[in-house]
Amino acid sequence: MSELIYNHFDREVHPPYLSPEYKSTVLRAPSKPLIVIKQSLSELTGPVFGEAHVGPLDHDLTKNSVRNGEPLGERIIVHGKVMDENGRPIPHTLIEIWQANSAGRYVHKVDQHDAPIDPNFLGTGRVLTDADGHYRFYTIKPGAYPWGNHYNAWRPNHIHFSLFGPNITTRLVTQMYFPGDPLLEYDPVFLGVPPKGRELLISQFDLSVTEPHFALGYRFDFVLRGHNSTPFETA
């Protein structure tokens, strides 16, 4: 069985399906007991993700959509390791990344935030972990943005991740936050995660990967099983 499949759902780490303060979960959370459906052959055997699916600039969001100049904002490096509950690396795992630009705007037609779109920053990328489970990518630190959950609601700076194992059923979707962000204590999405799991969603500043005169470094590890597994989105 894949290392990415959860054998234990730790209620002290992972968010519940229903979190009333996070208003969209009221409509999205299941109201009846879940039904386990037998996996089909196509789900168990494909798709298969490998190096052929990752382009030469997919890991560098500061370059992969440049049109006429450098993207605006603070350049950062995000790196870490994908591992199981025993610290064993999980190699060749596809990580997809998407985020807002430095002004807090997504390149998406439903994003109506009154902030500029950066023509040189798409906000999407992907990277494959190496044989030791390590990954690394360049990007622009995302900005905060307003959302309609409640009065004066703002989402903290964050990056979305989707991790794929050997097939589509072994997918993890989560978010990474930044240390010291004052908006964390007001965000229902972050607060919807039990206290034990919240610190697992906050990256750590890492001077060792910071590139002088270019970009600050942050470390964010993914633990995909066990009591300290990275909280995943459930609704």
Do 6 and 225 meet the contact criterion of CB atoms below 8 Å apart? yes
DSSP 165-177: -SSTTSEEEEEEE
* All structural domains of the chain: 24-28+55-223 (2.60.130.10)
pLDDT digits (tens, 9 = 90+) for 75-103: 999 999 999 888 899 999 999 999 999 99
Q: What confidence tens digit (pLDDT) does each residue in 15-46 have?
A: 777 777 887 777 777 777 777 777 665 555 55
Report whether pLDDT(222) > 90. yes
The catalytic residues are 106, 145, 155, 158, 160
Q: Please state, rounded to an integer, the average pLDDT across all residues of the chain.
A: 87
Residue pLDDT, tens place only, 106-154: 998 888 899 999 999 999 999 999 999 999 999 999 999 999 899 999 9
pLDDT band at 5 (very low <50, low <70, confident <90, very high): very low
Residue 3 pLDDT exceeds 70: no
Neighbour-count burial of 109, counting CB atoms closer than 10 A to its CB (0-12 exposed, 13-18 middle, 19+ buried): exposed
* C-alpha to C-alpha distance for 160 and 176, rounded to whole angstroms: 6
**Residue 29 or residue 221, greater confidence:** 221
pLDDT, tens digit (0-9, with 9 covering 90-100), for 186-213: 999 999 999 999 999 999 999 999 999 9
DSSP letters, 55-104, are -TTTTBTTTTT-SSSPPSS-EEEEEEEEE-TTS-B--S-EEEEE---TTS
